[in-house]
C-alpha cells in the first residue's frame, strides 16, 4: 500500500524543515526476508538514514 501523494505533499508543506523521500516500492521494501524487498530503494534508504544519523548524532 502506498501513501497518498496529497498526504505527503501536505506534510512537506506543513513542516518546512522536513526532508521527504519517496521510494517506488511498497510496504516493507527494505525487509530482505520477504518478496517485497526492493534492492535499489532499500540501499538508497539505508544510505540516507545513516547519513542523517551521522549528521544529527550528539
Q: Tell me, yes or no, whether 37 lies in a domain.
A: yes
Q: CA 29 to CA 23: how far, in whole Å?
A: 9
Instruction: Please tell me the predicted confidence (pLDDT) of residue 35.
Output: 93
- Report the domain count for the chain: 1
Q: Tell me, yes or no, whether 32 lies in a domain.
A: yes
Which tens digit of pLDDT belongs to each residue from 1-43?
567 778 878 887 888 787 888 888 888 999 999 999 999 999 9
Q: How confident is residue 44, by pLDDT bands cut at 50, 70 and 90?
A: very high
Full residue range of the structural domain in which residue 44 is found: 24-58
The model's pTM is 0.72
Instruction: Please tell me the predicted confidence (pLDDT) of residue 34.
Output: 94
Q: Tell me, yes or no, whether 36 lies in a domain.
A: yes
46 Cβ contact partners less than 8 Å away, ≥ 6 residues apart: 30
Amino acid at each position: 500500500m502506498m501513501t497518498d501523494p496529497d498526504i505527503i505533499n501536505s506534510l512537506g508543506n506543513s513542516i518546512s524543515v522536513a526532508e521527504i523521500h519517496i521510494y517506488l516500492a511498497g510496504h516493507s521494501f527494505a525487509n530482505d526476508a520477504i518478496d517485497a524487498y526492493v534492492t535499489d530503494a532499500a540501499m538508497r534508504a539505508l544510505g540516507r538514514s545513516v547519513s542523517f544519523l551521522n549528521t544529527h548524532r550528539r
